[in-house]
A = this chain, B = another copy of it.
């Protein structure tokens, strides 16, 4: 029997569902920018995760991402008895597969140390194997030499920071002083670290939010507990790897997870106003005025702390039109805190409904 005839027959295994679909995640662009949905922290069978790299790309398509990064651990490869260590393997396997699916695949690696300094992703690199070094500083330097965007991962991860509170150690200060630290995770898997917002503001770091997935995305982020994985929203000039990298270094991001949108006010404010629109009053009676707010995005907005004679709180459900009834006596502008749009360590966005 000839080997190639086996091969031909078996190829049919992998031709199923060749025309995959990318879900449209309804999040708006900002004027002048395209919003790229990204996950910059993903593991495969080549470090300590359980799936083949192509699975990660299929998952990203399904979740409507524009970009993803493979970031296998350099210092932790528990499958090595069966899978020889190759820090560029996932990238090599995924490169064409991603292109065919119109996804931007970012080459990355995770520098994995105990705290301090903890874990760091080197993103937009060219050769991960050069970054594995005995000294963590040598690792940092090798990454920077490749033009890497360096992201401090999960600064408040309890396995490394038992009280869950992120801390800046000398080594982090030093990294920042050298200009080698570019980003920091606000969301990591199902955790988030409010204090990271302060770190980012004080040191001009880019906020990111990522899955750090080891298992299967659809088994972790599923209804009723979750409606999407954590994402970094990057406001890029175009949908290319270069434009993505430029925007990341420029700090133009927000992060999104579990109905929470987090980012600087300069991005958050126009973003929300792209999501919602307020209609003219459509009905009134002796006492009340009725108008509607349309939310065309996948994110519900929870408005709280309303003024007197207006509703104390309003939920603008995702992809819905919400009816608002206010007393005609209301004179002042209808200003609300948006509970789930975070623009500082302890600060949420304020918006006005102009009906």
Contacts and interface: CB of A to CB of B under 8 A. Distances in A.
A20 B49 CA distance: 18
A350 to B, nearest CB: 20
A165 interface: no
Interface stretch (A11-19, A175-183, A252-260, A327-335): A11-19
Interface in A32-48: 45-46, 48
Nearest to A222: B218
B48 A51 contact: no
Chain A interface size band reads: 35 or more
A322 B112 contact: no
A282 interface: yes
Contact of A22 (B54, B290, B321): B321
Interface in A49-96: 49-52, 54-55, 73, 75-76, 79, 82-84, 86, 89, 93
Contacts of A322: 19-22
B76 A6 contact: yes
A89 B45 CA distance: 14
Contact of A319 (B23, B46, B223): B23
Contact of A323 (B26, B49, B75, B101): B101
Contacts of A10: 48, 73, 76, 112
Contacts of A9: 114, 159-160
Given A86-B82, A216-B55, A102 B323 contact: yes
A292 B102 contact: yes
A204 to B, nearest CB: 29
B51 A21 contact: no
A24 B321 contact: yes
A131 to B, nearest CB: 16
A311 interface: yes
A269 interface: no
B75 A6 contact: yes
Nearest to A15: B159
Nearest to A300: B21
Given A51-B51, A114-B6, A24 B86 contact: no
A172 B55 CA distance: 37
A22 B279 CA distance: 14
B100 A320 contact: no
A339 interface: no
A55 B1 CA distance: 34
B21 A323 contact: yes
Given A6-B75, A14-B48, A82-B93, A21 B317 contact: yes
A113 interface: yes
Given A99-B283, A102-B282, 15 more contacts: A6-B76, A19-B314, A19-B324, A19-B325, A21-B315, A21-B323, A22-B320, A23-B320, A46-B82, A50-B51, A82-B93, A100-B285, A101-B323, A218-B219, A224-B224
Q: A-B pairs with the 8 shortest C-beta distances?
A: A224-B224, A50-B52, A22-B321, A21-B320, A12-B159, A21-B317, A50-B55, A24-B319
